Amino acid sequence: MLLVVDVGNTNTVIGVYDKDRLVVNWRITTKKDGTVDEYGVVFRDLFNFSSEVKFEMIDSMIISSVVPPIISPLVGMAEKYFNVVPIIVDSETKTGLRILYDNPKEVGADRIVNAVAAFKKYGGPTIVVDFGTATTFCSISKNAEYRGGIIVPGIMIALEALFQRAAKLPRIELKKPDRVLGKNTANSMQSGIIFGYAGLVDGLISRLEKELGEKSFVVATGGLAEVIASESKKIKKVYPFLTLEGLKIIYKMNS
């Protein structure tokens, strides 16, 4: 079985594939200073709570990470606890995409992985919107070219900034309010975030499509994708496990 690991700034998403079937998946907080053995304990505990997969079933592994210090202890954990040498997604990894960034090494591994999965599933032109720590937009052409993208502050960053920088604004539950016009502080903040980000997404995609001279299929992923997609006119599909799917595809290309 294949263990896929996507390390983000806030969360780490883990999945296990049996051939093309995603058997189980977990989302944990990214621990930026963990040791080999600490990661070993975390992964062992996750497997202990699963009835479908066991620790010893893993015979291959692939990792993408936007947090460089975590790569080394994760590799050490893979070798010590799973007895496998993982593939690390970087600028040298085969992806099937031509990267048109000025410096391809600047593109985050997660963005490339998402692009690979989106092109495989939906073809091109496609735009991927990933609602993570940052909200990112990636454009893939019909010729399998990663054309570039957009990066804006993530939803939770925006919420936390309001709480920290405005003395009277509280931390709130992130949910869609009943109406745009808020009648209390919490609803006003919820409206600004949910409807505001939906408008941001649609506006930026419209500008991208105008600049590129073509319409694109838009797929969203990330922990908060469902919340915003329901209010967006441009997002056509939400695929929560797009990154895991991309890791599986890239593993097959490089194994």
Residue whose C-alpha is closest to residue 70's, from 29, 131, 16, 111: 29
Integer angstrom CA distances of residue 173 from 9, 27, 156: 21, 20, 11
25 annotated as belonging to a binding site for a ligand: no
221 annotated as belonging to a binding site for a ligand: no
110 annotated as belonging to a binding site for a ligand: yes
20 annotated as belonging to a binding site for a ligand: no
76 annotated as belonging to a binding site for a ligand: no
**Could you give the CA distance from residue 178 to residue 161 in angstroms, rounded to a whole number?**
24
16 annotated as belonging to a binding site for a ligand: no
Beta bridge partners of 186: none
Structure tokens at 98: 């031509």
Residues with Cβ within 8 Å of 102's Cβ and at least 6 positions away in sequence, in order, are none
Residue 138 backbone dihedrals phi, psi, to 5 degrees: -130, 135
Q: Which entry of 33, 37, 45, 110 is annotated as an active-site residue?
A: 110
10 annotated as belonging to a binding site for a ligand: yes
Judge whether 33 counts as a catalytic residue.
no
**Could you give the CA distance from residue 113 to residue 87 in angstroms, rounded to a whole number?**
13
197 annotated as belonging to a binding site for a ligand: no
30 annotated as belonging to a binding site for a ligand: no
Which residues belong to the active site? 110
Annotated binding site for substrate, which residues?
A: 101, 108-111, 185
Q: Which residues are annotated as a binding site for ATP?
A: 6-13, 133
- The annotated binding site for K(+) is made up of 130
- Binding-site positions read 6-13, 101, 108-111, 130, 133, 185
